[in-house]
Amino acid sequence: MRISFFFYALLTFIFLYLVVAKMKDSCSFFGISLQFWKRSSIRCSESALPKIVLTGFSVGNNVDGGYSFPVTIGNQTFQMLLDTGSPDLWVPSVNCTSKSCKKHKQFDEKISQNFINTEKKYSLLFNQKASFVNVTGAFENVEIGGIIAEKQQFGCAFLETDDFYNAPFDGILGLSLDKLSTQHIPTVFSTMVKQNKVEEPIFSIYLSRARDSGDKGALTLGGVDKEKFSGDIVNNKVIGESGFWVINLEGLSVDGKKIELDEVGNETKLEGKNELKKQRKSIIDTGTSLLKILYEDAEKIHANIGGFLVDFQGGGFAIPCNTTSVVSLQFNNIHYSIDPKDLIISNISSVYPGFCFSGIQGIRNQVSSVDGMGIWLIGDVFLKNVYSVFNTKEKTVGFAPSIHNHCKEVNKILFFNIELINVYFFCFLIRIVFF
């Protein structure tokens, strides 16, 4: 009896030691996440950096359409679209009578504490100039995740096009580089950097998926969230001076097979640089839900995943709803794969049985005005698969494979892996044999 007691006491000690040691490193045990109940919720250890929760919104049945988050201007809080493809911050004003404005929360300058009206009016264009808002410039303190950009300039919209009527956000917060601003206004993050409000001149983004219940996206200001990615972050130098986060796409493949891209580019500007003619300028844009690429490139990709053109004018393609094809993009000699489910946008089986609308859209004549190189808009279809890091000082965009559903919240449950049972079973066998 005494031997049995000490035997189990020793096993318990060893087991608890291993659990604590393993948890210390990775919030997991034997490869599966362990979550611990604390005040009705379970979460991984928190970083000192502020993490702003990104709320994904859908454009269909569990189809990700974009990401928004709370931003406080003065003493009024709005739900804002996260957009790395634009520089400006704007919200609807109470002075706006457009139906798009009236459907959303409107900024009231009369109750704003530090509001300054510049009286300057200007227009902001979106969606390849198909949508716009007319705004009046103003200054006010802007707070995101507890960090305040003091006297930040922003736009109070007094006119919005109808495109924004059904938008699941009130306004847009741009996180491009400052150079993109036609009004020469620094972005909110740029102001935070200049005012030494963040640890480093970087912000990082993790995008969740609508189908992953309980998983939330995150914006981290001034650093990275190491729980959201695996491996190393590999940086890509921003090319050009447009103000967009533009990096070179070096190549792509489908199911490991390299897809040869056609040469595109200005013969004079790219003389002696034939390798660039097969590369693409890629704008990293969280405000775009799809991959909007050269039409010729889209044709080649869909030819390799069983897709076909269904919308000639819009460049829309159909792909099998049960596709398992893996499309990979190459940046800085690293291949990043897109989950096949992220390629599915909407079901069109009523017209094309078994087929869904593709998340890769073909755009005709989408080339750079500088050198004629082909341009890709890299939206959320790809960005959900990587952890993205934007450095405003070094002007780089870094990627690492993202980790989804890592130690996500659950309620009052402690999960154990099957290997745990194997350990006890093994110990039980030892006792039978030796004791």
For residue 241, the SS3 value is: coil
Closest to 123 (Cα-Cα) out of 151, 152, 155: 155
**Cβ proximity of 101 and 93 under 8 Å:** yes
For residue 290, the SS3 value is: coil
In this prediction, residue 164 carries a pLDDT of 95
In this prediction, residue 406 carries a pLDDT of 42
Mean pLDDT of 49-57: 88
Give the pLDDT band (50/70/90) at residue 419.
Answer: very low
- What residue ranges do the domains of the chain occupy? 51-206, 229-401
Domains 51-206 and 229-401 share a fold: yes
For the chain, the average pLDDT equals 84
CATH architecture of 229-401: Beta Barrel (2.40)
Fold (CATH) for 51-206: Cathepsin D, subunit A; domain 1 (2.40.70)
Pairing relationship of beta strands 76-83 and 280-284 according to DSSP bridges: unpaired
> What predicted TM-score, i.e. pTM, was given to this entire model?
0.81
Query: Taking 70 as the threshold, does the pLDDT of residue 28 lie above it?
Result: no
Give the pLDDT band (50/70/90) at residue 36.
Answer: very low
Map 187-216 to HEC letters.
CHHHHHHHCCCCCCCEEEEECCCCCCCCCC
Give the pLDDT band (50/70/90) at residue 34.
Answer: very low
